[in-house]
Structure formats: structure tokens, C-alpha cells
Chains A and B, each alone.
Chain A
Amino acid sequence: MKYKVPLIFAFVCGILVVISEFIPHRPFNMLITTLQDWFMIISGFAIILGQISLFQANIKKIRGKNPDWPFYLAGLISFSIMLIVGLFWGTQEYRGILGHGDKIQAAIGMKPFDYLFANAFMPLSSTMFSLLAFFIASAAYRAFIIRSFESNLLMITAVIVMLGRTSFGGMLTSWLPQGLYFLHLPNLSDFIMEFPNSAAQRAILISAALGIIGSSLRIILGIERSYLGGDK
């Protein structure tokens, strides 16, 4: 009951979806739409589960007086504020439970959710990701000092692509004669992106697709069961 019924559910749902692809008539064509709608709704609950879990983990750290507990408290407060203002007064596109919050909008110039998005979430996320530029540079330095042909190939391609996408790169090779214009950095960068890069991406896509088809079959047939967890 605890183990076999879920496996039967997975098998039936998987087979129904596959069959519906080959029989585009009622009731099969409706089944896939219904299952996809259900999938979206259940995924919604799964995300709620994730957020509750995050909340619980933070509360545990605060209660246990973890060395950094004031920061976790700040995280919980920011989570609660963003969630409350989003649900009560909605976002730019949607109406909240208490309406659009016209008075608050008049006071702060926009909806509180959008205010927090523009002045806290957006600067935080873009700065956090821009910080990666420095770490990528240091990681690249460490990676490229391993002098192999492959690592050189990677570095040379990266440099050509980076230079080819800037006006400086175009300026560097603008003196090339018409006959050698395919070596002009922006053209070379386009060539790399269009041919060798596409070839490798295709190889990855084809191989990954084979892997996904194999694992999907294993899941549908009940060979792969790790997603069900332990036997509690």
C-alpha cells in the first residue's frame, strides 16, 4: 500500500501520457491536458512545501541560538513582509486580497510589493550575480594555468567570443583585408557560435535526450524507485 500503489500510479500516469501522444482522439487527447493541469497544481503545493521547509529550518536555527541567528531572523522577517504585502495588495498585474491598496500606492508611488521588488530584491539579485564576475575570473585563472591543449582551446574560444561581442574586438581586427575578413573577431565569434558550438550542443542534447528517455522508461516501469524515499 505504502510502496506498490504509488508505483502503479506512476506507471498509469506515464503510460497514459505516452499513449495520448500517439492517439490524438478523445478521451486520450483530454487526458494529457488534465494531467498537465494537475501537475501544475500539485507542483504549486510542492513549492509551498519547500517554502514551509525553509521557514522551519530558519526557525530551528533561531530557537537553537545558532551563532548567526539574528541574520536568519532578518531573513524570516523579509520573507514575511514580502509575502504579506504581495498577498494583501497584489502586484503590478494582479489584485491582492485587500484590493490594489490605492492609498499606499499614492503614498509610496507604487504597490508595496513592487516597491520592495525594485528597491531590495532587484539590487540584491543583480549585485549577487555581478559578484560572480570576480569569482569566475579567479576560477578561470586557476583552471587555465593547467596547461593542456583542451584547456587552451577553451580559453582561446572564450577570449574570441568575449572580444567578438564587444566594439573593442571589432576595432582590433578592423584592419584585416577583405579576403581575410572571416578572421575579423565578430565574424570569427559568430562562426564559432554557429558551427563548432552548435555541433557540441547538439551532441549534448542528443546524448542527454537518450539518457532522459532511458530514465523515464525506468521510472514508468518501476525499475527506478529512489524518488519514493525510504521505507517509513
Chain B
Amino acid sequence: MSGFMATFGLWLSVFFTLSIFSFLYKDNPFYKLSEQIFVGLSAAYWLVYLYYSVMVPNLFNKLFTDFKGNLILLIPTVLGLMMLLRLIPKTQWLSRYPIAIMIGTSAGINMVRYAKTDLLGQISATMINPFAADNVVTVIGNILLIVGTICGVYFFYFSKKQEGIRAVPSKLGIWFLMISFGASFGYTVMARISLLIGRLEFLLKDWLHIIK
């Protein structure tokens, strides 16, 4: 039985892989079927993942093992249930309370976190002595790092029109941003290509046994 299920699993994987690749020719029923199955499976996967990693340890386990000691957890439970009332038009407004608590809490957390790490952290990391490095390449790199950061931030300053001499650092900032987007693009292409190689390897090695 186990051997049959392994073979069945392999053919299932092959079917889904080829169905998705068939979109390269044109949209077709096989692709549509696989696409919807993918949506259903991923929604259920994340729901199960959430149940075991968030709801069970943070809520259900605590309430079932020591209900009296964790009575305070009934507040987020009620708020969570109020969130579900969004599905009923007449009681939709009740979901504003949990949403407001979530938004308020995350606004507070984000404000402090981003001020600490992304604003002050990144500014202090840029305040370096570029000439303290032991080789020319690193010195040039450090100068580029400082100039690029300042010009990049300047580019995002939209309160005053950037023209004449003011447009120069902005232009430099665009160039640095373009280099960064190029690097990110290169990395994304590499990641997608490696996934493609993985799927082709699966088809040619595990299924067809053409390569070893």
C-alpha cells in the first residue's frame, strides 16, 4: 500500500507540475484546475499552521489546562469572535473594536521598532570613517555607501521641488536605487531559475529517470 501511495504521489506531483507549465502555451482547463487546487491547499495549509502554532499554544492549551488562571484570555477570544461578526451585515460595526485594538497596538509597536532599528540604527551604521579601511576598494565602497545613503534619502524628500542644483543629489540617488533594483532583480531571477531547475530535475530524474 505504501509503495502504491508513493507512486500515486509521484504521478500526482507530475500532473500538477505539467498542468502549471501548460500555461506557457495558453490558459487551459488543466491550469485552471491546478490553480484553484493550489489556492485551496495553500489556504488550508496556512489555516492548519495557524491553528497549531498560534491558537493552540497561545489560547486553547492555556484555557484547557488552567482556565481560572487564564481568564484574561477570554478578552482576546471575545474580541476575535467579534472580528468574525464582520460576516453578518447587521453586526459588522462590532468588528471595529478588535480592528482598532490591533491597529493601535501595531501602530505603537511599529513606531518604536522602526524608529530604533530602521531609522536610528541605519543612520548610525552609515556614520563611519570611510578612510579607516585597509584597502582602496573598501575606502571607495565606504564613500559610495555614505554618498548613496544621503542621496537616496534626499530623493525621497518630496516637500520641495527638486530642480537646478537641488536635482543633482536626487539624480545620484536614483542611480543608486537603480543599481539596488538591478541587484534585487538579478537575485529574483536567480531564485526563480533555481526553482525551475528543481522542477525540471524532478521531471527528468525522479519521474522519467533520464538523468541520474
| Residue positions of A touching B, CB distance < 8 A | 2-3, 5-7, 9-18, 21, 32, 34-49, 51-54, 56, 68, 71-72, 74-83, 86-87, 90-91, 93-94, 106-109, 113, 115-134, 136-137, 140, 150-151, 153-162, 165, 182, 191-210, 212-213, 215-217, 219-220, 227-229, 232
Contacts and interface: CB of A to CB of B under 8 A. Distances in A.
B54 A41 contact: yes
A32 to B, nearest CB: 8
Contacts of A131: 20-21, 23-24
B168 interface: no
> Interface SS of chain B: helix, strand, loop or mixed?
helix
A13 B202 CA distance: 51
A118 B189 CA distance: 25
Given A109-B5, A212-B110, A42 B178 contact: no
Contacts of A207: 152-153, 156
A153 B107 contact: no
A11 B101 CA distance: 9
A217 to B, nearest CB: 7
B128 to A, nearest CB: 12
Contact of B5 (A7, A115, A162): A115
A68 B36 CA distance: 10
A156 B100 contact: no
A232 to B, nearest CB: 6
B86 interface: yes
Given A52-B87, A82-B44, 9 more contacts: A9-B100, A15-B108, A79-B39, A91-B48, A107-B5, A194-B141, A198-B148, A203-B151, A217-B111
A42 B79 contact: yes
Q: How large is the interface on B (under 10, 10 to 19, 20 to 34, 35 or more residues)?
A: 35 or more
B183 A192 contact: yes
Interface in B119-154: 119, 122-123, 125-126, 137, 140-142, 144-153
B129 to A, nearest CB: 15
Contacts of A117: 45
> Interface SS of chain A: helix, strand, loop or mixed?
helix
A123 B16 contact: yes
Closest 4 CB pairs of A and B: A203-B152, A199-B148, A17-B108, A157-B182
Given A71-B32, A150-B174, A109 B144 contact: no
A182 B136 CA distance: 11
B167 interface: no
Contact of A156 (B35, B182, B192, B202): B182
B86 A49 contact: yes
Nearest to A52: B87
A112 to B, nearest CB: 10
Contacts of B155: 203
19 contacts: A3-B96, A7-B100, A14-B108, A17-B108, A41-B73, A42-B80, A47-B47, A48-B84, A49-B86, A51-B47, A71-B35, A90-B52, A93-B52, A136-B185, A155-B182, A199-B176, A208-B118, A228-B99, A229-B96
B40 A78 contact: yes
Contacts of B149: 199, 202-203, 206
A51 B111 contact: no
Contact of B182 (A52, A94, A129, A153): A153
Contacts of A108: 1-2, 5
B17 A127 contact: yes
Given A162-B186, A202-B152, A107 B58 contact: no
Nearest to B53: A94
Contacts of B110: 212, 216
A229 B92 CA distance: 10
Given A38-B75, A77-B40, A127-B21, A200 B5 contact: no
